Structure 1
Amino acid sequence: MTLHKTAADCAQGLPGAELDHPFGEDWEIFKVRGKVFLLMTEVPGRPVVILKSDPGEALALREGNSHITPGYHMNKKHWITLEDGAGIDKKLVRELVTESYRLVVDHLPKAEQPVDPHTCSGGTGASR
């Protein structure tokens, strides 16, 4: 599994998701309606994916996997960082990218939501 490719492939399939490079070519940022839901870069040569997460879920994920840590350069309560390692498979990466997207979409005004965040699943939700 390539962590960045798996995360990017999932993000690109989500309605309204757009790739941006506001911090230079070393950072790939995915946004929905201008709001960030996924960041990718390398931290001393290691690829990492940074995602929004429910605080309780983030804590449980960090406690259950040493390859999931607090969000790099982000709010440590609401963001997590993934890196390659045991327990980090394609299915988990896709689930966490989709959940990050849902959390962001859920806080957008209803008129700006590209999908209903409560029914969207892995980029296959119907567009509004």
Structure 2
Amino acid sequence: MQGSRLQQCARDRVEELPGAGVQHPFGPDWDVFKVRDKVFMLMTEVTGEPIVIVKADPEDGRALRDQHEDITPGYHMNKQHWITLHPGGDLRRSLVEDLVTESYLLVVENLPRAKRPVDPDTFGRRDR
């Protein structure tokens, strides 16, 4: 997926996620996506290419990095809990959408129940 398409795909998915929004706490070069003031995705081009950074379960992140050369440890983030999606390779739109959704749900499930905009056990789960 090309860089601008990669970021637009991720941005489009965020627009479908209840309670999610973008902020710029690190300046105009970083789009920081949050749900209830907790970060679940970042986008930037400071690396010279448009990248998307999302949370991932550590085991899932390891498997994704092994399967896709365009997925690397999280840029400027905890390498165990974050992954970076790079443009130009074989990442499909559905995978990017799923990774954005999963990142969002990883944050939502750690929120107090009263603050959760969705039920993380059922929202967006295609396999349930």
Measure how far apart 1:13 and its partner are: 1.2
Give 5+ residue unaligned stretches, structure 1: 123-128
Do the aligned partners of 2:29 and 2:46 also contact (CA within 8 Å) in 1?
A: no
Which deviates further from its counterpart, 67-76 or 113-122?
Answer: 113-122
Name which of 108, 111, 115 aligns with 1:108: 111
User: Given residue 112 of structure 1, which amino acid in structure 2 is its aligned partner?
Assistant: K
- TM-score, normalised to structure 1, is 0.91
CA distance in 2, matches of 1:70, 1:90: 20
Report what 2:35 is aligned to.
32
RMSD: 1.1
Measure how far apart 1:80 and its partner are: 0.2
The equivalences for 1:2-81 within 5 A come to 2-81=5-84
- TM-score, normalised to structure 2, is 0.91
Measure how far apart 1:12 and its partner are: 1.6
Report what 1:126 is aligned to.
none
- Provide the secondary structure at the position in 2 that maps to 1:46: coil
CA distance in 1, matches of 2:47, 2:59: 28
User: Given residue 74 of structure 1, which amino acid in structure 2 is its aligned partner?
Assistant: M
CA distance in 2, matches of 1:69, 1:43: 16
User: Given residue 22 of structure 2, which amino acid in structure 1 is its aligned partner?
Assistant: L
Measure how far apart 1:87 and its partner are: 2.1
Measure how far apart 1:86 and its partner are: 2.5
* Runs of 4+ displaced beyond 2 Å: none
Measure how far apart 1:44 and its partner are: 3.1
1:83 aligns with 2:83: no
CA distance in 2, matches of 1:26, 1:48: 12
- Provide the secondary structure at the position in 1 that maps to 2:117: coil
How many residues are aligned here?
Answer: 122
CA distance in 1, matches of 2:49, 2:15: 22
Measure how far apart 1:43 and its partner are: 3.8
Do the aligned partners of 2:42 and 2:52 also contact (CA within 8 Å) in 1?
A: yes
CA distance in 2, matches of 1:86, 1:27: 22
